A and B are shown apart, each in its own frame.
Chain A
Amino acid sequence: MQVSMTVNGQQRTDEVEPRMLLAHHLRDNLGLTATNIGCDSTSCGACTVIVDGLSVKSCTVLALQAEGSQVTTLEGLAGEDGELHPVQAAFQSEHGLQCGFCTSGMVMASVGVLAANPNPTDREVREGLEGNLCRCTGYHNIVQAVLKAAEAGPVAGQVPQTQEVSA
């Protein structure tokens, strides 16, 4: 079947099997491999992307369900001039990533957390990221990164291609 969606600002139309997951569509059909797949039970959040302003786990969405949607992946988060999004910059400055496998989903989920709550506490960040698993960092520096990103203001909860994001 044919599916059309706007991915990182670009209109994409492709043939997909009805059962194809959005995560596989992004990775295998569109070559956007920053989005990773870490489980098969919607538990790890490595595949988190933003669809129409909502951070969602793309392993739990069929590509067809994203018909007509605005999708932002990690590749679409930095500015056109290459300037890092405040969440990306904070993940680097606070050492919020090690092996990097959870990072794409963790960054996108963090944008969602900050969209819903621009000034979260340590505990609120932890609860907001409960569905995103990391084995390397013990979450300590991820939490620090999200708190640091929040200092940038509302822009930390926004993505370039859509106006509003909420958790």
Chain B
Amino acid sequence: MSILGTRVVRTEDPQFLTRGAVYTDDLTDERLTGALHATFVRSQVAHAKILSVDTEAAKQAPGVVAVYTAADLTDLPPLAPPFPFIAAEFERQWLCTDTVRFVGDAIAVVLTEERYQGEDAAEQVVVDLDVLPAVVGTANAAKDETILFPAAGTNVLAAFGEPAPADFFDGCEVVVEQAVVNQRVAPVPLETRATSAVWGEDGRVTVWCTNQGAQQAKGQIAEWLGLDASLVHLITPDVGGGFGAKIGADPEYALVAHLAKLSGRPVRWTESRSENLTTMLHGRGQDQVVKIGGTRDGKVLAYSLVTDQDGGAYPRIGVVLPTLTMLMTPGTYAFPKVHAQARALATNTTPIGAYRGAGRPEATAAVERAMDLFAAEIGMDPAQVRRINLVPKFDEPHTTLMGATYDSGDYVAALDKALEASGYAELRAEQQARRERGDARQLGIGISTYVEITGADNGAGTGEEAELEVHPDGTATVLTGTSPHGQGHATTWAMLASDQLGIPVEKITVLHGDTDRIPKGGGTMGSRSLQQGGAAVHQAAVELVEVAKKRAAERLEANPDDLIVDLGSASLQVKGTPGVSVSFAELAAEEALMVQTTFTAAAATFPFGAHVAVVETDVESGKATVVRIVTVDDAGTIINPLLAEGQRHGGIAQGVAQALLEEVLYDEDGNPQTSTLADYPFISATELPSFELVEMATPTPMNPLGAKGIGEAGTIGSTPAVQSAVIDSVAHLGVRHVDMPATSMRVWKAVQAAQAGAQHQNGSTN
């Protein structure tokens, strides 16, 4: 029996559970002996002109070695916008020169001998500011009354698509329109950002940082600092979570490396959580308008999604996320007409980047909300409306009106499985009974179906490399350009090699995140790793067996085609003659047994599924509690169910968190209101039930493993299911819509408004 598909426990766990992993702040590399601690002086005001920065007092503070401001960095060119279609005027200074644009914008850096001295000294830096009006929210940004980058002349960072034609909804019996907020959230990996840097006598800089892809971060740092890439050695040690927010280098990492050069000492930086919550990239942050039209018997004829993406103070990945939202606009549905348009706007807030799902959850939340509104308008069960409009099962790729080519899918089956596992009919009956009794705790049932894009860079031709070497002692080493930070690649990649070679998983070491040893790699993001990096390891193992067969054939005086792998002994045998064999280790002892290969997936894959969420809402207080979540998440062939389930669990929880609790808030002056974990309502164990996972696996033809991505699916499905369940729990009281997060206050207000008859009827009926 193959090891693939079995529940192998993680080989990395014994160390994590006894000595702890080694994160960037844990490093004891001798090159970091005597390292200085960097502390950033950051703006406490969202938008202001800088009149002066006085560092004299700070320079006299205990332990201070140096204090740097923009004046010390004139040899570094400003940070250009990350995409060529963004106007060059939206450039960013390493340290602010004349303007601060969000609370947290970096103004100065203090280097001290000891950690605690940095905070003391940073407080001694005196910054004189002339406060400007702050732009908070996309609606304010769009007015262009206050412009963050006057030279650009507008707050619009980028615009995508055209308005819908005037006749777009002609012929629809029913049209419903709704403004929908997909709120800004904080990724909050438990490990905050951290980096260390030291320059060697050879003129090379070694940078350690917590990141989702060493190679990409290295390239960015080299480019920013104007260094030849060969001069940067970047290492990602164990990484304490990423969730998209650790994709690519942050300016702080490059700046710390630069200051290590200026100061002539190694430098370390580990941000505090409050610094993290105000300066690490946030996620989501879309203001959407959904409009859906169709017939009274449930057929959707046209759907439009218009999105304003909050980009934050400086353009980062967030600017392009609406393009993924647009691509996935119709989701699982076969709408005859689809329209999407978006723009990204600069605001005086923390820049926006990727967060688990990154653009796709926003598309799913929008279309699922639209489907519920449409169902409510025509008085049809939301499951039935979905079934009528789902793309039917397909085995050949299905290309949508937005140009996405779905690889394989059976959305109706996923929905049916989720409904059946949840006991949907019984739930509806229970809900009806509670409504009739007027119970204080009302039941809400939310359904979502989703399809998302994973391995979006598949087909771009870059591929992913793997190196596999068997050693004479019978162990093996895998080198991968993917970059685990909780996903368990050390175990799964070992399983993929073991599956071909028979070398036990515990004898296979997986290395990653060191650009000197692994110069090329795409990192771990966008649920790409297994279908690219994993597939590359599989391919390397297959190729290594072929190399070994040729060499064994000579040694055994047999035809290579007559040799088979005996997994039990990790050897090659002559078919039918088990006594004539040679192990991979013996071959490695003769001559290095190593393969380096590149796997290039033909195209992206599209995992899909359906979620049913059940909430109980206390109608008096508005508090909604998730009591059940039933999920079907079809990610193709599963290599390690234990780890795949773990990915689903984490994703589901983050979706519930966005639907019910979490939101980054600013006041109208741009002051963060959620800058500590005491204020930011990070979801805890008490706010979640255990999850009910239903299996479904439709393999993809895009890689030999049949695997699609599983990292983000849980989040994409659960967010709208939970939001929908909350609204459903009070729908009988006249509530049509509640924005996320559906907090007690929001739900209570919606109920009060509905009961007062003041609920705005946002929909219109033709």
Contacts and interface: CB of A to CB of B under 8 A. Distances in A.
A101 B273 CA distance: 14
Contacts of A77: 18
Contacts of B654: 135, 138
B682 A92 contact: no
Contact of A135 (B189, B274, B645): B189
B240 A129 contact: no
Nearest to A105: B190
A136 interface: yes
A126 B688 contact: yes
B690 interface: yes
Contacts of B487: 98
Given A92-B17, A97-B16, A100-B16, A127 B650 contact: no
Contacts of B240: 36, 99-101
Interface string A94-109: 0101111111100100
B649 A33 contact: no
B541 interface: no
A130 interface: yes
Contacts of A82: 18
Interface residues on A, range: 35 or more
A13 interface: no
A133 B17 contact: no
A84 B17 CA distance: 8
Contacts of A36: 20, 23, 190-191, 240
B247 to A, nearest CB: 15
A78 B18 contact: yes
Contacts of B272: 40
Given A135-B241, A137-B646, A138-B653, A38 B192 contact: yes
Contact of B486 (A40, A98, A143): A98
Contacts of A41: 273-274, 676-678
A78 B187 CA distance: 33
A44 B686 contact: no
Nearest to B274: A40
A107 B684 CA distance: 16
B14 A92 contact: yes
Grouping DSSP codes into helix (H, G, I), strand (E, B) and loop, the B interface class, with mixed when no group exceeds half, is loop
Contacts of B115: 24, 28
A12 interface: no
A134 interface: yes
A38 B486 contact: no
A7 interface: no
A74 B272 CA distance: 23
Nearest to A125: B685
Grouping DSSP codes into helix (H, G, I), strand (E, B) and loop, the A interface class, with mixed when no group exceeds half, is loop
A27 to B, nearest CB: 8
Contact of A104 (B20, B189, B485): B20
Nearest to B648: A138
Contact of A33 (B20, B188, B685): B20
Interface residues on B, range: 35 or more
Nearest to B677: A43
A43 B653 contact: no
Interface in A75-122: 75, 77-78, 82, 84, 88, 91-93, 95, 97-104, 107, 122
A101 B21 CA distance: 8
B89 to A, nearest CB: 36
B69 to A, nearest CB: 25
Interface in B614-665: 642-643, 645-646, 649-654
Interface string A15-53: 001011000100110010111111111111010000000
B190 A135 contact: yes
Q: Count chain B CB atoms within 10 A of each CB in A40, A74, A75, A130 and give the residue with the most.
A: A40
Nearest to A87: B17
A88 B14 CA distance: 8
B677 A91 contact: no
A39 B191 contact: no
Interface in A110-167: 122, 125-127, 129-144
B28 interface: yes
B238 A140 contact: no
Contact of B273 (A38, A91, A140): A38
Nearest to B239: A99
Nearest to A144: B690
Nearest to A99: B486
Contacts of A28: 115
A27 B188 CA distance: 22
Given A92-B17, A143-B685, A99 B241 contact: yes
6 contacts: A33-B22, A74-B20, A84-B18, A135-B188, A135-B654, A137-B650
Interface of A: 17, 19-20, 24, 27-28, 31, 33-44, 46, 74-75, 77-78, 82, 84, 88, 91-93, 95, 97-104, 107, 122, 125-127, 129-144
Given A28-B115, A36-B191, A99-B240, 6 more contacts: A24-B115, A34-B18, A74-B19, A75-B19, A91-B17, A140-B691
> Which 10 residue pairs across A and B have the least CB separation, nearest first?
A34-B20, A138-B653, A101-B240, A99-B486, A98-B486, A43-B677, A138-B649, A101-B190, A33-B26, A39-B273
